[in-house]
Amino acid sequence: MSKQQEPIPFSVSFAAGAIAGISEILTMYPLDVVKTRVQLQDNTAKGADRYNGMVDCFRKIIKNEGFSRLYRGIAAPILMEAPKRATKFAANDEWGKIYRNLFGVTEMNQSISVLTGASAGATESFVVVPFELVKIRLQDKKSSYNGPIDVVKKVVASDGPLGLYTGLESTMWRHVLWNAGYFGVIFQVKKLLPKSETKQGQMANDLIAGSIGGTFGTILNTPSDVVKSRIQNTVRVKGVVPKYNWTLPSIALVAKEEGFAALYKGFLPKVLRLGPGGGILLVVFTSVIDFYKKMKA
């Protein structure tokens, strides 16, 4: 984020991030369901079970499973979005302070923006992994779970409490890459955009910068997101090495078996969500921070 006129308390950044995250998820969640369905699909899917892109996936879900299926598993993301997005923005601000002090600079620059974003992404990963695992298991078409609590019970029963952290390494890859791209690009785009003198102009700049940042972050992290979905959807069997286990070997395996393009499965719904979604996040976050400053004044 760009330098604030005065330090923003951690609690305020946390609350602003939470409000921004919930606003984004309520607007964009169906695209996330479609993205996950397409990512989980491998070469064995045939006929009615095969999705030929985003529109076909939307059509088949609504036709065969009902419109409400597009909101399947939303409880976990809603519960996750507050701590997830709050951690993202609050950690980004806190890491920014740490790195500015460490490198002896008073203002953010491009390199520190990327570094703080990556650090915030790594921090965020520890918060979101259990929620992501529950969401992925529920979004799968073949899911037999009866809601989020059932997922948690069955995973803990079979794999222990640490089973809820299946896919932590791939989640870190996903979040480090997305946040580094997102915050790094936001910094650069804001430098290039004309300085706004009005509230409406500032919101427009935030929407543009956040959308471009979200798009760039999505381009960077989609391969790790594809394998993360598969890793977290794999039910562990004792004595059997999972087909998808670690990020880089899984990326190589998907590229080998399904072609390089498979690493960008679900890219269209993902970028349609996280491009504009990144703009929504930044606009809402900035608006809440501005409201805090106004109330304090």
Q: Residue 69 is which amino acid?
A: R
8 Å CB contact between 41 and 51: yes
8 Å CB contact between 134 and 73: yes
Walk me through the domains of the chain, giving residue ranges and CATH numbers. Answer: 10-292 (1.50.40.10)
Question: Tokens at residue 19, please?
Answer: 């409000």
Q: Residues 242-259: pLDDT tens digits?
A: 899 899 999 999 999 999
* Prediction pTM value: 0.72
pLDDT in tens, the chain (297 residues): 444 446 677 778 778 877 887 787 777 788 888 888 888 887 777 777 788 888 898 899 898 888 888 887 777 677 777 777 778 778 888 898 899 999 988 888 888 989 998 998 899 898 889 888 888 888 787 888 888 899 999 999 988 999 999 889 999 999 999 989 988 898 899 889 988 888 888 889 989 998 999 899 999 999 999 999 899 888 778 888 889 989 999 999 999 999 999 999 889 888 887 788 788 878 888 888 888 888 876
Q: Residues 29-42: pLDDT tens digits?
A: 888 888 888 888 87
